[in-house]
Amino acid sequence: MAVQKTVYDHIASNNLKTLLLVLAMPVLLLIITYFLMVLVFMNSPENWQIAADMLKRVGLPVAGIALVWGLVSYFVGDKMMLGFAGAQLAPNDDKHKKIYRAVENVSIAAGLPMPKVYLIEDDSLNAFATGHSPQTASVALTTGIVAKLEPLELEAVIAHEMGHIGNRDIRLNMVIVTGLGVCAMLAEILFRVGSSEGRSKDEGAAKVAVFVIGIALLIFNLIVAPIIRMAISRTREYAADATAAYITRNPAALASALRKISQDARVEVLDESKNMAHACIYDPLDPERMAFFGSTHPPIEKRIERLNQMAGLFSLKG
C-alpha cells in the first residue's frame, strides 16, 4: 500500500530538488559546451588550444556574472517575477475587501502567514505565488480571475497558491525562472561578441569559441530547461491541488475554477516571459501546449479527475 506524502515530505523534496537544480544546471551546461567545442574543433588541434584558452578566459568572468546575478535574483527574484507579470500591490481598502478576506481566510485555514496580495490587470483567469519562504510570500491574481470566479472558487485558487507557498514550491520557482533568465542573458551577450569578425586567425578562433558557448546556452534553454521544468512542475501542481482541497475541504470548488481558468488563461504580458509559465496555476502562454510533451502542467482533465475523486472521499467522511 502506498504511503501518503505529508506536507513535510513535499518541503524536504523541494529543498532537495532546489539544491540539485542549482548544482545540475552549471554541470549540464559545461557538458553541453564541452561536447560542442569538441565537435567544432576536433579536426583543428591548433584552434582547439586557442578555443580552450578563450574558454578559460571567458569562463571565469561568465561564471562570476552568473553567480552575482544568481545571488541578486535569488534575493529579489520575487520582485522580478511580479515585475515580469506587471503585478501591482493591491490596496487593502473597501474596493479590494473581497480579495483580502479570501486570502486571510485561506491563510488562517492553512496555518500560514498572510501573503502580500498583487493584482495583474488582465481579463484572463490566472494566478501565481512567489517568495523565498512563507514569511516573504506574495500571491498575484489577474483582475479577471477575481471578477469571474465565485467566492468559493476564488478561495480554492488562493488555497492552491498557498499550497505552493507551504510546500516551498515558490523558492524552487524562483531558482528556475531566474536561473534560466541568467542563461538567456549570457547567451545574448556571447552571441554578439562571437558574431563579430576577428582581426586575426587566433582572434577568429576565439570568437568561434565564444559563439559555441552561446549556442550551448541556447541549447540548454530550448531543450534541457523545458525538460527540467516539466519534470519538476507536474508533481507540484498535483500536490498543490491536493493541499488546496484539504485547506478548503472543497475539492469541487477548485475543479470548477480550473474548468473556467482553462477556457481563458492567457496573460498577454507574459508572452515575452515564457519561463514564468510553470509558476502559474495554468499555462498562461498557449493553452494548446497542454496536450504536448513540453507542457509545464498536467492535463486539466487529470487534475479535475483527481479533485473529483477527493470530493468523493470528503463526502464519505461527511
Tell me which residues are annotated as active site.
161
The 3-state DSSP class for residue 114 equals coil
**Contact in structure between 120 and 281 (CB atoms under 8 Å):** no
The closest of 254, 272, 287 to 124, measured between CA atoms, is: 287
- H or E element: which one contains 127? strand 127-130
Q: In what order do the strands lie in the sheet with 116-120?
A: 88-89, 116-120, 138-142, 127-130
d(CA 151, CA 253): 9
Contact residues for 163 (Cβ-Cβ < 8 A; gap 6+): 110, 169, 239, 240, 241, 242, 243, 244, 247
Q: CB-side exposure of 74: number of CA atoms within 13 Å?
A: 10
- Radius of gyration, alpha carbons of the chain: 22
β-bridge partners, 88:
119
First to last CA, the chain: 24
d(CA 98, CA 121): 17
**Contact in structure between 247 and 163 (CB atoms under 8 Å):** yes
